[in-house]
Structure 1
């Protein structure tokens, strides 16, 4: 896959790679996202490449960057939230409103990468993965690429009261992004296949699929609202919502393996 960025855990610390080869040790994703779009790609292409990147993958986000998320952007998500919630009208209203639901998900240093364990809350009895297209946004809010994301969530806590959303969404091991970043334009992301497969003891216990064309809002629209009153000098990552929601009879368990595919990218995480 051309123009593909990955981040690796080397003996000398995190290191970025382009198309499978290490970039200079001082390369920073945040610094690249701060460069004007009209010069950024030429500058990236001019970087000297080193050895093949063979160290383990890390989440493709830097410590100082943030991951944010969009909620109720698919009809299936709205219907699932209504079913679980004691305040169903909240989700009906936000699905049809001009303003989208946006919420903070994780600091970069909290995000888990491909192969790293995700977690379920110990005080929640109903927990699910949420497979999502994740946008890479530069310092102006322009879309420069995408990754696969897992917005691990406690449905029981959010369903009890929507004001508990931060506790349902933000905790250790609740956010995974990977395996890397496919650089490209927003037009290339509007109709990608999205798949979710959850395995338990080697057998599939849930599988589902959708397409990013089912997202109700425009990708640029979501990015625009995030950047409306917030500055991200080193760029940001934005989850765009989930269209695959396991039924009320399913909850994640320790030992499960969650596999999410979007386009040509695949993210896999065990549940601890």
Structure 2
């Protein structure tokens, strides 16, 4: 069972459930968190509540592809993890010129008890399906980072899973690790969606298949796939460090790191189409736009 948000008209967001046979049921809740809280008040799980609600509803007479999808949740904060996969560690070493003789900071964090966790985005900076992600004006080496996102409540409980794009300026981070906030945070540098997969419907979150495809001028210029089973750290471990002495909000999203990195000679360009697909969640599609002029 997946949860989506879409526009029924230019001003009316609708929360809906998508069943495994792709039938879409508009729900009587304003957002995903209201669904979760309603289930809690009734002593039920979200899936139990949905099964009851859907039994009295008619599916929408529209296909999934026809909907104007929104971010499935307006996350008050998005956090992200780095170097949780070996591929990510190797990429960080390559962009910084390290990795030859001696331990780099990326080698150390890969082996350390404490993971790398950083602030990524706010609701105002985060976009959803088919919305543009922007390039950064002072970077010449930028890539998408396809990641599994955990939708959390304030106690760190995993409510669901979504797909995320943790856009990254590899040259800025490679110049100096202290530049990480600038390499990660700028206008529309984060996207999530297209849906939230209810956590209780996922038997094993380490069996998600993640794929990334990039098209340029209608031609596919990059494609790679991997699985969350290659993650070095457990998801609960990452959450435990996020909430350690750090209050979070209901609806916070934690991106769990990337295992897919385009070649070192690749950088995004305006007009590129990025597709990030995660099994059981869907395909998050965004187009790349040039930086917005600053006045």
Common fold by TM > 0.5: yes
Task: Describe the SS at the equivalent of 2:127.
Answer: coil
Q: 228-237 vs 104-113, which deviates more?
A: 228-237
Instruction: Name the CA distance, whole Å, in 1 between partners of 2:209 and 2:59.
Output: 33
Contact 1:9/1:15 (8 A) holds in 2: yes
When the two chains are superposed, the root-mean-square deviation of aligned CA atoms in Å is 2.2
Instruction: Name the CA distance, whole Å, in 1 between partners of 2:57 and 2:134.
Output: 36
Among residues 2, 5, 18, which one is paired with 1:4 in the alignment? Answer: 2
Instruction: Name the CA distance, whole Å, in 2 between partners of 1:161 and 1:28.
Output: 40
Which residue is 1:57 aligned to?
69
Instruction: Say whether residues 1:102 and 2:117 are aligned partners.
Output: yes
Instruction: Name the CA distance, whole Å, in 2 between partners of 1:124 and 1:65.
Output: 27
Query: Aligned-pair distance for 1:172?
Result: 0.9
Among residues 29, 39, 47, which one is paired with 2:32 in the alignment? Answer: 29
Q: How many residues are paired up?
A: 268
Which residue is 1:249 aligned to?
265
Among residues 95, 100, 113, which one is paired with 1:84 in the alignment? Answer: 95
Q: 159-168 vs 137-146, which deviates more?
A: 137-146
Which residue is 2:221 aligned to?
205
After TM superposition, where is structure 1 displaced by more than 6 Å over at least 4 residues in a row?
Answer: none
Which residue is 1:111 aligned to?
126
Which residue is 2:292 aligned to?
none
Among residues 30, 38, 44, which one is paired with 1:39 in the alignment? Answer: 44
Which residue is 1:214 aligned to?
230
Query: Aligned-pair distance for 1:14?
Result: 2.5
Contact 1:9/1:55 (8 A) holds in 2: yes
Instruction: Name the CA distance, whole Å, in 2 between partners of 1:262 and 1:142.
Output: 21
Q: TM-score, normalised by structure 1?
A: 0.90
Instruction: Name the CA distance, whole Å, in 2 between partners of 1:164 and 1:46.
Output: 50
Instruction: Name the CA distance, whole Å, in 2 between partners of 1:104 and 1:40.
Output: 30
Unmatched tracts of structure 1, length 5 or more: none
Task: Describe the SS at the equivalent of 1:190.
Answer: helix
Query: Aligned-pair distance for 1:188?
Result: 2.4
Among residues 66, 71, 95, which one is paired with 2:77 in the alignment? Answer: 66
Which residue is 1:136 aligned to?
151
Task: Please give the per-residue CA displacement for 1:20-53, whole angstroms capped at 9, x wherever unaligned.
Answer: 22222x5232344557495342445454757727
Task: Describe the SS at the equivalent of 1:8.
Answer: strand
Which residue is 1:145 aligned to?
160
Larger radius of gyration: 2
Task: Please give the per-residue CA displacement for 1:115-149, whole angstroms capped at 9, x wherever unaligned.
Answer: 11111101100000101111111232122221111
Unmatched tracts of structure 2, length 5 or more: 19-23, 290-295
Query: Aligned-pair distance for 1:262?
Result: 1.1
Q: TM-score, normalised by structure 2?
A: 0.84
